[in-house]
Structure 1
Amino acid sequence: MKGFITGIGLSFCVAVASYGQAAQDTTQLLTFDEAVKIGLMNSVTLNQERNNLRASQVAKTSALASLGPSVSLNGSARRVDGNSFDQQQGRAVNGIRDNISVSLDAEITLFQGFNSLYTLKQNAKLVDAQAYFVKRTSQDVINTVSNQYLQVLLDLELYRIAKENFDVQDRQLEQIRGFVEAGSRAPVDELNQEALTKAAELVMVQAEITLNNDKALLTQSLLADPFDEFKVAKPSWDINTISNVDLSPDHMLQTAKIHRADYLRAERTESARRYGMRATQGVLMPRVYAFGSYGTAYNYVYGIPDSVRRNNEGINRPWRDQFQTDNIYKVYGVGINIPLFNGFQTRANVVQQRVNYENSQLATKNAEIQLKTDIQRARRNFEGAQKSYVVSQDQLKAAEEAYRLEQERYNLGITNLVEYSTANRAFVQAQTNFAQAEYRLLFQKIQVEYALGTLKIEDFQ
């Protein structure tokens, strides 16, 4: 839906079929994949990391360009009043002299302990690390929006169950009132049923409050207008396909080490810190560089006596002669700079870079432990969710049949209200347990993909 993908400010309309809306309701529907797309588009954190990735790419380009020469075009125009050296006369003059000079200068480092090369490698690794960070951040957004969307769906289902139970209890109350008036039921049955009806109504109201709160949380994650409303729909996922997942620890660990972006980011950051340490160590080495300069100048001396001007007609030669011919110069050569002492600043930087590298090694180790922990937790939770789904399904079938039989017995007057209410509570609880087990299984499928680092929006389309 194109209207949703455009993001903030579009009109959402919350409506749930169980709210009793009319059939002609034209409110827009926020589907699961659209919610994920909006989250990816509007996430502040994700967009900030994308901007940081652009900055990292520029830094990498700058490091690559630094391998070449630094070139600058320099120029100046000045007036000297007093003693100065006149290039045209080849001597010092005392007076007013104008000078215009232009030069093209270049310098390139030939060797400095491979500082520039290591700096380039460092920035390349940092770009990779930031790209993985963007990928993991996008998975964080998908995971958050997915769980919140499915939570809203679960809340809707629990609200529907609570409302249906309230409707049943309310109808049962009206029926018992008729029986009491006819004298076929004791008045205490009416009071008991009224208490059960109010309890069911309270559960329904609490379910509605939970639904509204979770919908508000989803709205906040999507950066949508909280005063607008939307309705959601259950994804058409096959629960049997979802349950068919390879949960072998070795396979999951191998997959995670290939795809888990936060682990890969830690590895790339460690490599970047290693190259950064080596680049800083290179500054301790002598720097050998080549340089070159090509320039020219123009001089004009004021106040030259006529006698001097007549005998030295070439003192203030024309602009073209000076600037294009006489004053052109070329300078080139090689130089070496040997660092001796700078207050131990370079050595302090080397120590700092080494500490950064050692800390990044610890971070990589921690990321690997976190990866294994997440895999183990996701695997066990998914297995538990599968068992809960099967058990709750069987429980629902048994409770539904028991409720149906008990309802018939109560209508025939064979059983009392207490036994009938007990069967009804068991049936409602079984419905609730099944709904929770079903959505928990959907949650855990997403958690498995998130733990493996393979979670992507294409999985939900």
Structure 2
Amino acid sequence: MITVFIKPRLFTVFLLTAWSWQTSTAQNNVLQSYIDSALSNNLVVQQKNVSLEKAQTALSIAKGWYYPTVSFQAGYQTAGGGRSISLPLGDLLNGVYSTLNQLTSSTAFPQLKNQEVNFLPSNFYDVKVRTTVPIINPDIRYNREIATQQIQLSDYELEIYRRDLVQQVKTAYFQYLSSLRAVDIYKAALELAQESRRVNQKLLDNGKGLPAYVLRADSEMEQVKAQVAAAEQQARNAQLYFNFLLNRDGTSAIENNYDESSAIASVQRQLSGQPESAMREELKAMTQVVSIRETLLKMNKSVYQPRLSGFLDLGSQAENFAFNNQSRYYMAGLQLEIPLFAGYRNRNKIKNASLDLQSAEIDLTHTRLQLQLAAQVAANNLLAAWQTYDASNRQLEAAATYQRLIERGYREGTNSFIETVDARNQYTQAQLLQAVNRYKVMIAATDLERQTASYSFKK
């Protein structure tokens, strides 16, 4: 009989545990869905994606320099006057042609006129298709390498902002939940103040109370109402900022069914770990900057290497728009360039590139130390926030016990009304402090997550 009783009981416990785990997962998925929405819709992320696409386009442009360049070129010229050269063809050949005609009894050899040929062309055209191709040019190789490195740098910059955005969304969400909790606490305090006012008014009506107690209750009610209004305004501001991060209407509703106990449990696991900043995209980005500076230095040093290119022209040129076998032509050639002297500009460029590389290496070292410090500070802040939260839990328990004792004593006539007001205020402040410190722990954990780059993005 015992076995038969225990099995259904264990099955019920199992179902409750599974339901609790499923509910916790669904509640935590609320925040994850907001993070996914922000990563998809945030305007700065979209801007960073555009920058990444531009870097990819720059790489395509750099690769395009390896291919031949083909262009169509056409020119037309006409002129009159200017320098000329005389060709006495008639004086030189007419006598010979006349003799030949007499000997052959024919007119096969006509008489020629002396010619006057201008140096400037008249009604002249030149049409061609020119193909140029680089053969030796180290600048093209280095530019392609830099463009490839720039893509990786842009990708790191995008990841840096994505991590910043995740931190901002989580922090804004916790601040919103904290403000909602403050509103609930103040409203509960207002209900207690209203009940106190009702009791004191009833005692006064029965001749057992004092008018001062009623006035004091009215004052307490107005004070709490002002606190409720301030808390509600803070909640609206938190709502506006959170929706701004998600790039949606500021008044959009925000789900608040977040599993705080699960989040607090995960914080306890974080406390036992050692902060590590080696995976930060900032370090990867600075390392990439150093690589780009090294490539720029190599490119500047390659200025003394020869550049060789080739060209091929296929076209036609003639006067009076003639087009025949004599007008058509082709021309091929090679062009070699070797820099010899440029007023020390190239040497100074190499020096500047070397200094830029040194500066980038120093920045990398400085960034590494900064990130290590930030990770350690974030871990210390989380530990301090946890200790403060733990103390506020004990303070809340003490304030709740004290408030119950004072309320009981007031009903029994052993404590004054002022003591009940003070006890309620202490309890309200302890509730606020405990709620605020709980969300401060979550915010500190979010900061540590950012400083260690431990958040995992979806693939």
Would you say same fold, with TM above 0.5?
yes
- Cα distance, 1:359 vs structure 2: 2.5
* 1:308 corresponding residue in structure 2: none
- Cα distance, 1:451 vs structure 2: 0.6
* 2:275 corresponding residue in structure 1: 252
* 2:332 corresponding residue in structure 1: 331
Among 230, 243, 256, the alignment partner of 1:206 is: 230
Among 296, 299, 307, the alignment partner of 1:276 is: 296
* 2:90 corresponding residue in structure 1: none
- C-alpha contact (below 8 Å) 1:148/1:218 kept by paired residues: yes
Structure 1 residues 235 and 169: CA distance shift in structure 2, 3 A: same
* 1:349 corresponding residue in structure 2: 349
Between 1:34-43 and 1:204-213, the stretch displaced more is 34-43
- C-alpha contact (below 8 Å) 2:287/2:364 kept by paired residues: yes
SS in 1 for 2:69: strand
* 1:414 corresponding residue in structure 2: 414
* 1:48 and 2:47 are equivalent in the alignment: yes
- Cα distance, 1:172 vs structure 2: 0.7
- C-alpha contact (below 8 Å) 1:109/1:287 kept by paired residues: no
- Cα distance, 1:246 vs structure 2: 4.4
- C-alpha contact (below 8 Å) 1:276/1:353 kept by paired residues: yes
Alignment of 1:60-71 (within 5 A): 60-66=59-65, 68-71=66-69
* 1:156 and 2:156 are equivalent in the alignment: no
- Cα distance, 1:431 vs structure 2: 0.8
Q: Once the two structures are aligned, what percentage of the paired residues are identical?
A: 17
- C-alpha contact (below 8 Å) 2:43/2:247 kept by paired residues: no
* 1:179 corresponding residue in structure 2: 203
Between 1:190-199 and 1:141-150, the stretch displaced more is 190-199
* 1:121 and 2:145 are equivalent in the alignment: yes
SS in 1 for 2:78: strand
SS in 2 for 1:414: coil
Alignment of 1:369-448 (within 5 A): 369-448=369-448
Distance 1:247 1:117 in 2: 49
- Cα distance, 1:368 vs structure 2: 0.9
Among 306, 309, 322, the alignment partner of 1:287 is: 306
Alignment of 1:88-237 (within 5 A): 93-94=117-118, 96-110=122-136, 114-226=138-250, 228-237=251-260
- C-alpha contact (below 8 Å) 2:264/2:442 kept by paired residues: no
Q: Residue by residue, what CA displacement relative to the aligned partner does 1:358-395 show, whole Å, maximum 9, x if unpaired? A: 32223212221221121011101111222223222222
Distance 1:354 1:342 in 2: 19
- C-alpha contact (below 8 Å) 2:267/2:442 kept by paired residues: no
- Cα distance, 1:191 vs structure 2: 2.7
Structure 1 residues 337 and 146: CA distance shift in structure 2, 3 A: same
- Cα distance, 1:119 vs structure 2: 2.8
- C-alpha contact (below 8 Å) 2:297/2:353 kept by paired residues: yes
What amino acid sits opposite 2:60 in the alignment? T
- Cα distance, 1:208 vs structure 2: 1.9
- C-alpha contact (below 8 Å) 2:375/2:451 kept by paired residues: yes
What amino acid sits opposite 1:55 in the alignment? K
Structure 1 residues 288 and 210: CA distance shift in structure 2, 3 A: closer
Distance 1:252 1:121 in 2: 35
What amino acid sits opposite 2:281 in the alignment? A
- C-alpha contact (below 8 Å) 1:142/1:456 kept by paired residues: no
Among 70, 73, 76, the alignment partner of 2:74 is: 76
- C-alpha contact (below 8 Å) 2:201/2:214 kept by paired residues: yes
Structure 1 residues 92 and 77: CA distance shift in structure 2, 3 A: farther
Q: Which aligned runs of 4 or more in structure 1 are off by greater than 6 angstroms?
A: none
What amino acid sits opposite 1:177 in the alignment? Q
Distance 2:116 2:161 in 1: 69
Query: Which structure's CA Rg is the greater one?
Result: 2
- C-alpha contact (below 8 Å) 1:106/1:292 kept by paired residues: yes
SS in 1 for 2:363: helix
- Cα distance, 1:168 vs structure 2: 0.7
- C-alpha contact (below 8 Å) 1:123/1:272 kept by paired residues: no
SS in 1 for 2:437: helix
* 2:110 corresponding residue in structure 1: none
* 1:306 corresponding residue in structure 2: none
Distance 2:83 2:318 in 1: 11
- Cα distance, 1:429 vs structure 2: 1.6
Structure 1 residues 400 and 247: CA distance shift in structure 2, 3 A: closer
- Cα distance, 1:407 vs structure 2: 1.7
Distance 1:414 1:92 in 2: 136
Structure 1 residues 457 and 329: CA distance shift in structure 2, 3 A: closer
- Cα distance, 1:244 vs structure 2: 3.6
- Cα distance, 1:247 vs structure 2: 4.9
What amino acid sits opposite 1:132 in the alignment? Y
- C-alpha contact (below 8 Å) 1:180/1:187 kept by paired residues: yes
- Cα distance, 1:93 vs structure 2: 4.9
> Structure 1: which 5+ runs fail to align?
1-29, 86-90, 303-315
Q: Residue by residue, what CA displacement relative to the aligned partner does 1:255-299 show, whole Å, maximum 9, x if unpaired? A: x312x112211111111112112212212x132314131413142
Q: CA RMSD in A?
A: 2.9
- Cα distance, 1:166 vs structure 2: 1.0
Distance 2:123 2:200 in 1: 117
Among 260, 263, 277, the alignment partner of 2:283 is: 263
* 2:38 corresponding residue in structure 1: 39
Structure 1 residues 404 and 61: CA distance shift in structure 2, 3 A: same
- Cα distance, 1:81 vs structure 2: 3.5
Distance 1:240 1:152 in 2: 17
- Cα distance, 1:57 vs structure 2: 1.5
- Larger relative contact order (C-alpha < 8 A, sep ≥ 6)? 1
* 1:20 corresponding residue in structure 2: none
What amino acid sits opposite 1:272 in the alignment? I
Distance 2:186 2:457 in 1: 33
SS in 1 for 2:248: coil
Q: How many residues matched?
A: 397
* 2:93 corresponding residue in structure 1: none
* 1:297 and 2:283 are equivalent in the alignment: no
